[in-house]
Amino acid sequence: MKVGDIRTKKEIAQWRECEGCGRPAKYRFTFLLELYRGNPASKAYQKDDCSWCSDLDIYSCERCKHTLSQSPGGYSAGCGIFPLGKFKHMGFYWAMK
């Protein structure tokens, strides 16, 4: 490697998979840590509007949505549910090709 060398990364957009069965995801569930507004470890710490905040994302297909929408231990009972048909940009991620 020398000064002036250029490095290029090639990435491809991938669709999220269901964390229960591996099928294409249809929903994104977002969870916040317990006591999120007063918890410095939470992304919603001291925020008035935390509707777009997430400490944990779980992706699910239609078939697995009832089991995967349950709050994991340590996370608040209420969660955000985003149908990926309406919020398509939330269903993609970049992977190295």
Give the model confidence (pLDDT) of 35-93 as tens digits: 999 999 999 999 999 889 999 999 999 999 999 988 999 999 878 999 999 999 999 99
Long-range pairs for 53-58: beta carbons < 8 A, 24 or more residues apart: 54/30, 54/80, 55/30, 55/31, 56/30, 56/31, 56/32, 57/28, 57/29, 57/30, 57/31, 58/19, 58/28, 58/29, 58/31
Asked whether residue 5 is assigned to any structural domain, the reply reads: no
* Residue 77 falls inside a structural domain: yes
In-domain check, residue 79 = yes
Q: How many domains does the chain divide into?
A: 1
Q: Is residue 93 part of a domain?
A: no
Asked, for residue 80, whether it belongs to a domain, the answer is: yes
Output the pTM of the full model: 0.84
Which residue range is the domain that position 26 belongs to? 19-88
Confidence at 32, pLDDT banded by 50, 70, 90: very high
What pLDDT is attached to residue 79?
83
- Please report whether residue 13 resides in a domain: no
- Domain contains 53: yes
Q: Is residue 49 part of a domain?
A: yes
